[in-house]
Amino acid sequence: MKQKVFVIGFQKTGTTSLEHALQYLGYRVYGGDKNLMKYTNSDDLKAYIKTTLHSWDAVQDMPWPLFYKELYEIYPEAKYILTLRNTNTWIRSVVTYFASIRIPLHKTIYGVPCAEGYEFRYKEVYEQTNARILKFFKNKPNFLVMEMEKDFNYQTLCGFLNIDEIPQEAFPHARHNKKRKLPNYKLYRDLRSLYWNFKKNY
């Protein structure tokens, strides 16, 4: 069993790319788990986390960043990676991708119906949570910040994970949104949101 690695950055901050990189390095990566939001009792929540992650080496995706304290209480020796992205760049990516789709998990996290039209609240939750994480992990040696466009590479990741053999391959990029021009148009986003809200009964 490898030392556990917890990616505690928000969606659209390179978490999927980091997932692919960890998988390439041999880690078994668990994704988002909306069941985390159901628990009101801390002990029950931590018991669920411990049981769920027993067979996994790493996690990424929402809503894991909201539970960094519980993760640390259970796994104080694990490695923690906060992925960051410029707030304005982040919210543009979130709106382009999620638009006005009324995802229940997102509504629970941000307290508003959807991303588009409620950008201020999304940015507020994003920045406040990141600030709390940075304060909590300050001076802790098992914590790393990886910022998109700056140090998303195998050298940074492997150095933190104490992996000597650094892959020569390019660091993975999950999506190439530059080729996806349609989401830049609000009419397209509105139609896509209408479709998904109807299909999922949101």
Give Cβ neighbours of residue 52 (< 8 Å, ≥ 6 apart).
30, 33
Q: Which CATH number fits domain 5-95+102-176: 3.40.50.300, 3.40.1620.10, 3.40.50.720, 3.50.40.10?
A: 3.40.50.300
Tell me the pLDDT tens digit for each residue of 153-169.
Answer: 999 999 999 998 898 88
Instruction: Please give the Cα distance from 99 to 94 (Å, whole number).
Output: 7
Where residue 187 falls among pLDDT bands split at 50, 70, 90? Answer: low
Model confidence at 65, in pLDDT bands (50, 70, 90)?
very high
164-191 mean pLDDT: 69
The predicted structure's pLDDT at residue 172: 87
- What's the pLDDT tens digit per position in 115-161? 999 999 999 999 999 999 999 999 999 999 999 888 889 999 999 99
Tell me which amino acid residue 38 is.
K
pLDDT of the residue at 169: 85
pLDDT tier, 174 (very low <50, low <70, confident <90, very high otherwise): low
Whether a cis peptide bond, with omega within 30° of 0, leads into 76 is no
What is the pLDDT averaged over residues 95-111? 89
Amino acid 50: pLDDT:
93
Range 176-190 average pLDDT: 59
- 0.75 exceeded by the pTM? yes
Answer positive or negative: Cα dihedral of 111, 197, 9, 76.
positive
Three-class DSSP labels, 56-84: CCEECCCCHHHHHHHHHHHCCCCEEEEEE
Instruction: Decide if pLDDT at 56 tops 60.
Output: yes
